[in-house]
Amino acid sequence: MTSLQALKDMPISFPGLFGDWEFNPDPIAIHVGHGIYWYGIILAAAMLAGLLLCMKQAKRYGIKEDHVLDMVLWAVPSCIIGSRIYYVIFNLELYRNADGTLNWGRMVAIWDGGLAIYGTVIVAVIVVFFYTRHKKLSFFAMTDLGVLGLILGQIIGRWANFINREAFGGLTDLPWRMRLWVTSSQYIEVHPTFLYESLWNLVGLGLLLFVISKGRRFDGENTWFYFLWYGLGRFWIEGLRTDSLYLFDWTFMGQPIRVSQALSLVLAIVAALMLFYNIRIKKRTAEGLLVNRLAREQLTADTEAVSPLTEEPETAEETAEATLGESEEPKS
């Protein structure tokens, strides 16, 4: 599919829904220096919302809020770098000069767009692995909590693509089609795939918060459900996009391989197998959850702390009875 580029200084509209009404957001929110871009503001808001949700939910997973904050300090910068590296690697031709040399300045210009969510996910898993290993925490309890913030961040973050007029799909005449301008006199009407993914993730977040997490049977259930849900949605949505990252020049059945689509399918299959294995074969129960194990340990500790206090009066009473008994024995 041919990649289409929309002009960032031309209006956006949804003619099938709102008629002639147009929206023309300036990608730069504040014109100071190089400018403060809406892209960065929206992504920052997405990260903050995800962090706040994780902190609010932390106790339900046996995780301390301090551990959430500590991990985020490592994860956020690492994930931004990882996301950008992933995007550049699979889109390297966009960052070459006319003579074929690499344009390093454009590579770091993330305010123009170009962050790949799978780069974020891969680096996040690595950061969580080493952090939980160092702090002796449960890896899957932390990821079960983390995917709540991640999917909320994705819901919000996709609207940065809207402001930048990117991550849209192919041509369509559906009622909710989005109109973008590719020249000053020519427009295209396309699938608003950023909206599809945002709404798909919104449903996924609802399922995680109100269904999956309330009936968790093992640490990792939220995690594998996220990969299953997101993988299925992204596999479908990626097929509609015109700006997919491709796996170099590799092909399958004569068609180029979309990196995100292939990875989504693999993750969805693996996640489905892991859920089946833990629920149907291993028959995990909520007793093994970290939060429940910690609760039992705390209950045991509290019981042991109270026991000496309850035993002392009995010991004193027994001593008094023994003394009284000795005094009442007949003297020979």
Q: So what's the pLDDT on residue 91?
A: 81
* Spatial CA neighbour of 40 closest among 129, 106, 109, 95: 109
Residue 21, pLDDT > 50, answer yes
Mean pLDDT is highest, among 61-65, 92-96, 110-114, for 61-65
* Spatial CA neighbour of 243 closest among 1, 3, 62: 3
Residue 102: phi, psi to the nearest 5? -80, 140
pTM equals: 0.87
Query: What is the share, in percent, of the chain residues with pLDDT greater than 90?
Result: 69
158 annotated as belonging to a binding site for a ligand: yes
Q: What is the Cα–Cα distance from 269 to 163, expressed in whole angstroms?
A: 33
**DSSP secondary structure string for all residues of 235-273:** HHHHTTBSS--EEEEEEETTEEEEHHHHHHHHHHHHHHH
Q: What is the pLDDT of residues 130-165, one digit of tens each?
A: 999 999 999 999 999 999 999 999 999 999 999 999
Q: What is the pLDDT of residues 71-109, one digit of tens each?
A: 999 999 999 999 999 888 888 888 899 888 888 888 888
Q: What is the Cα–Cα distance from 143 to 127, expressed in whole angstroms?
A: 11
Residue 1, pLDDT > 60, answer no
Q: So what's the pLDDT on residue 198?
A: 98
3-class secondary structure, 23: strand
Distances (CA, A) of 15 to 20, 166, 192, 194: 6, 18, 13, 17
205 and 173 in contact (C-beta within 8 Å)?
A: no
Q: So what's the pLDDT on residue 330?
A: 53
* Spatial CA neighbour of 13 closest among 178, 142, 168: 178
Q: What is the pLDDT of residues 176-222, one digit of tens each?
A: 999 999 998 999 999 999 999 999 999 999 999 999 999 999 999 99
Q: What is the pLDDT of residues 34-54, one digit of tens each?
A: 889 998 999 999 999 999 999
Q: So what's the pLDDT on residue 170?
A: 93
Q: So what's the pLDDT on residue 248?
A: 65
Distances (CA, A) of 119 to 20, 124, 244: 38, 8, 14
Counting Cα atoms < 13 Å in the Cβ hemisphere of 278 gives 20
Angle between helices 221-238 and 259-276 (to 10 degrees): 150
Q: Average pLDDT of the chain?
A: 89
pLDDT range class, residue 64, cuts 50, 70, 90: very high
Q: What is the Cα–Cα distance from 107 to 17, expressed in whole angstroms?
A: 37
Q: So what's the pLDDT on residue 144?
A: 98
pLDDT range class, residue 62, cuts 50, 70, 90: very high
